[in-house]
Amino acid sequence: MAGWVENRGTNKWRLNVPGGTGPGGNRKVYRRTIEATSEREAKKQLDIFSAEVQKGQYIEPSGLTFTEFSQQWLKSKIDLAPKTKHRYKKMLDSRILPAMGHMKLEDIKPFHIMQFYDNLREYGIREDGREGTLSPATILHHHRLLVTIFNAAVKWQIILTNPAARVEAPKVPRKPAACYDENDIATLLQALEAEELKHQVLVYIALFTGLRRGEIMGIEWQDVDFDNSLLNVRRSSQYLPGIGTITKEPKNETSKRVISIPGFVMTLIKQYKTEWTKDRLKVADLWQGSDRLFTTWDGRPGHPEWPSQWFSKFIKKHKLPHLPFHGLRHTAATMLINQNVPLKNISGRLGHANPATTGAIYSHYLQSADKAISDKLENVYQNIIHNDTKKRQA
């Protein structure tokens, strides 16, 4: 055993382990205060502590609270998308920091995190005024953020292990992605004929390209290749409370993509370009200079929330089944699945970083499409057997 123990009061002991020399040539001593009922028990803890020091597994307490560290971590994440950074800050400020922000980083144990998740499951925890508890998905978002922050603390050698990684991630029941079937799509397109051309173009782009809402609102006319029926996805438009509309790069590198546009959609976009140009000329000098497909009356980039707000009113007006605007992206994916388009191609068109992501989101529809293929094989088999029987009888 290397080191010694000191009694610091009833059932309190300080463990001391020498660790070479520090700055100025002074002897370095690592210390840890523990609770133990006897000197013998304290010495057993000393052996464990000494082994940690010798193996380089001991990290001296930093004294940083979780609030102090999380603020430094968030400040260091210069590569985070503005909306993601805003969401992280909101989760920290509203729930995580009030619960454990005062605690020292090294004092936070898995049990504290489990208690925090139990608190998030309590009735009345919602901040939007709605009844009920937080959804499992929301709790999972908090868990992922904690895991990420503690991982950084381990990487920066402030703590030895990640307490959040030792807590089971909240389970989220997987639900089929909300989308329209062929009958709903037909009704939607019929109702759309009575709407303004810009609304028709908005829905047709969402439905037949699968672009995200922010990507659609980021499209500029220079991104549209009319000659080759192609669309370059180069930017995304987002809204941040307190800041306003911002433009950023797409969600990830694979989201920067060039996708082909069906001829009937491109025809509609060409018609809209003519109308858009006429409207711009009417505004004359009041035009703000934006080249976006969807703008305000004076040429500023359209509000990123506009598609969702308009689409919600549109489906209510025409008594269509409830569907969020993002559901048009899901509908685009399921249409491709039903046409037996390879999953890799669908993933690339949607801008997913990994085909596995596409498979996980649309697993229900992939299974349905596979069942349809199986039924077709059954029909082929029955025809073969039927024809063979006829030949034998002949």
Q: For residues 74 and 246, what is the distance between their CA atoms, to the nearest angstrom? A: 20
Give me the CATH code for the 182-361 domain, please.
Answer: 1.10.443.10
21 pLDDT band (50/70/90 cuts)? confident
Average pLDDT over residues 26-39: 85
277 pLDDT band (50/70/90 cuts)? very high
Q: What is the pLDDT of residues 228-250, one digit of tens each?
A: 999 999 999 998 888 888 888 88
Query: In Å, how far from its chain's centre is CA 87?
Result: 10
369 pLDDT band (50/70/90 cuts)? low
- Check residue 394 and give its pLDDT: 61
**pLDDT higher at 152 or 380:** 152
Give the helix ranges, DSSP H, for the chain.
Answer: 39-54, 66-76, 82-91, 97-100, 110-120, 136-155, 182-192, 197-209, 213-217, 263-283, 306-317, 327-338, 343-350, 355-361, 363-393
Q: For residues 392 and 394, what is the distance between their CA atoms, to the nearest angstrom? A: 5
What is the pTM assigned to this prediction? 0.73
Scan for tokens 């293929």, then name that residue: 373
263 pLDDT band (50/70/90 cuts)? very high
Domain boundaries, the chain: 4-54, 66-166, 182-361, 368-394
Contacts 24+ apart (CB under 8 A), 185-191: 185/331, 185/335, 187/318, 187/320, 188/315, 188/318, 188/320, 191/314, 191/318, 191/320
- Check residue 340 and give its pLDDT: 84
Q: What are phi and psi of 107, to 5 degrees?
A: -90, -10
Q: What is the pLDDT of residues 291-303, one digit of tens each?
A: 999 999 999 999 9
Q: How far is CA 330 from CA 174, 226, 325, in A?
A: 15, 26, 9
At residue 37, does pLDDT exceed 60? yes
The single-letter DSSP state of residue 38 is S
66-166 carries CATH number 1.10.150.130: yes
Q: What is the pLDDT of residues 209-227, one digit of tens each?
A: 999 999 999 999 999 999 9
Tell me the pLDDT of the chain averaged across its residues. 88
3-state DSSP call for residue 25? helix
Q: How far is CA 162 from CA 109, 353, 389, in A?
A: 9, 27, 68
Q: Which of 57-61, 231-235, 354-358 has the lowest mean pLDDT?
A: 57-61
Closest CA to 333 of 259, 235, 233, 239: 259
- Check residue 92 and give its pLDDT: 96
Q: What is the pLDDT of residues 142-200, one digit of tens each?
A: 999 999 999 999 998 888 889 999 999 888 887 888 899 889 999 999 999 999 999 99
Average pLDDT over residues 271-279: 95
